[in-house]
Amino acid sequence: MGVTQVAQILALALASSVLARGGHSSSFGSSSERFFPQFETERFVMNKPAQYDRGMFTPLETLDALSHSEYTTFGHPAFPKYNVRTKKTKFCDGTVNSYTGYIDVEARHLFFYFFESRSDPAKDDVIFWTNGGPGGSSSIGLFMELGPCKVLDEKGPTFHEHSWNSNANIFFIDQPIGVGFSYAEYGESVATTEEAAKDIAAFVAIFFENFEQFKGRAFHMAGESYGGRYLPLFAAEIYDQNAWLIQNGLTPVNLSSVMIGNGMSDIYSMLPAYYVMQCENASLDPILSVAECVAMKKLIPRCTRWMKAECIDHFDAINCAAATSFCQTSIESPFWKTGKNPYDMSSDCEGGLNETFCYPVISHLSRYLSKLDVQKHIGVDPPARGNFSAANMDVSAAFALTLDILYPTVDHIGALLEHGVRVLVYVGSYDWICNWVGNEQWTLAMEWSGQAAFVNQTLRDWTVDGKFAGRTRSAKGFTFATVHAAGHMVPYDKPVESLKLIQRWMAGEAL
């Protein structure tokens, strides 16, 4: 959630980027410069010492070593700037062991929750979950969508029988810095996905290296919305880091798959798809007038050509941002006037977009997490205590200023597939802001060795308990699936179907 806010301030980002550069309109940098500042091996050698004294490292080995009353700190000499603090925290799900803590990156601190599997924690896979935004707290995923408990009213947490920890150990992480209970001591910030990826990759390596019980365990990276931008880069960082880990005698992370829910992986496919969702029978009857649809349709070819020239064929920050801002305004404005929920076109927005993302239930989880006794119990550091916010608009604005959303992650997804990492793209059919039409378009257009096999697969129905659950196509480790009548937050709208979806996926079964 939160992609909406990024779109709304993109025009401001354009103006600010010009001012920050003294009014010059030079390019922000080519995509190759941004994504590959150095060769991968050079990058890891520069960021981490080539050798370390292995005798200085003693792993914790088991989570049983952790305390209930205070944090246990651990790290690894290969990552000298990083430490992890965690403790056992009994809350939310009394049937499993649960933990909370911080990833300390010098003066920056990322908060996380970890829940063991309800089934077989000693053997089940591990899932990493992040919400989107940028700036959205993963507490939304935990307490509203797929976590072991939900906070849906003023009564507080209640047991969630369809939690994704039914068959998996799962992390929920507030990232980047400034999100949820994460904070920086001296105003440090992260404003690009590439920066955020380094922190996540280091944390994952440290965790698996310290706890022998999880070494070699299948690891899945999952999330939604802006996760379509986050996850491919996070996964790529982890995969590329594995070579360095092996070289230095550490155990590589068994990166099994990436699971992107209602993601914004390619804004250039998504913008024209907004017209389809509003004016054609893609999921629901058209919601705009004939006149509005005709006017919008005339703009689509111009927008497509302009964005292709300035964003795809040659990335120029000023021209690309201008093209995208114009097209967003032209194509999105009619939708906002309808009063519909951009995350679920089948309903009206309740509670205000900026206040509750059109879901009043978010106010309940925010009030729960704002309680001082709750914050103390889960181990929130004093500087991060106070009124909890599900989204940090300063983080969103910082990412917008770097134009982070304008860099697609489709090539990263294709490269991950080529390297044997499976990818699942699932989309609720009623979502507008990161809709299934735009997501299907880039999945079909993505160039990789399995493209022909994937494109030649027709969409087929998938079912749960004999009932229609959506449509899907799959080939060579790549799967696209819609979830019928779900919005942006699929696990919230369709808890049974979403759990079956990821259970089948982790088991390597066809949907």
Q: Is 485 helix (H, G, I), strand (E, B) or coil?
A: coil
Residues 6+ apart with CB under 8 A from 33: none
Q: Quick one: angle between helices 227-247 and 410-418, nearest 10?
A: 40
Q: 221 pairs with which residues across the strands?
A: 128, 258
Cβ burial, residue 50 (10 Å; 0-12/13-18/19+): exposed
Burial status of residue 461 (CB atoms within 10 A of its CB: 0-12, 13-18, 19 or more): exposed
Q: From the candidates 199, 488, 493, 498, which is the catalytic residue?
A: 488
SS3 161: coil
- Active-site annotation holder among 17, 98, 139, 225: 225
Question: How many other β-carbons are positioned within 10 Å of the β-carbon of residue 172?
Answer: 27
SS3 419: coil
219 vs 390: CA distance, rounded Å? 26
Catalytic residue, candidates 431, 484, 493, 498: 431
CA dist., res. 350 & res. 129, Å (int): 26
CA 13 to chain centre: 22
**Nearest CA among 239, 255, 242, 250 for reference residue 209:** 250
Residue 98, exposed/middle/buried by CB under 10 A (0-12, 13-18, 19+)?
A: buried
Q: What's the CA angle centered on 47, arms 44 and 51, to 5 degrees?
A: 75
Decide if 488 is catalytic: yes
SS3 label, residue 274: helix
Q: What is the rounded distance in angstroms from the CA atom of residue 390 to the CA atom of residue 352? A: 14
Q: Which two tokens stand for residue 417?
A: 């597939």
Q: How far is CA 336 from CA 8, 18, 277, 295, 413, in A?
A: 11, 28, 13, 16, 31
Q: Which alpha helices (DSSP H) does 248-392 contain, by range?
A: 267-279, 290-307, 317-336, 353-356, 361-369, 372-378
Is residue 412 flagged as an active site residue?
A: no
30: three-class secondary structure by DSSP: coil
Residues annotated as catalytic (active site), given as ranges: 225, 431, 488
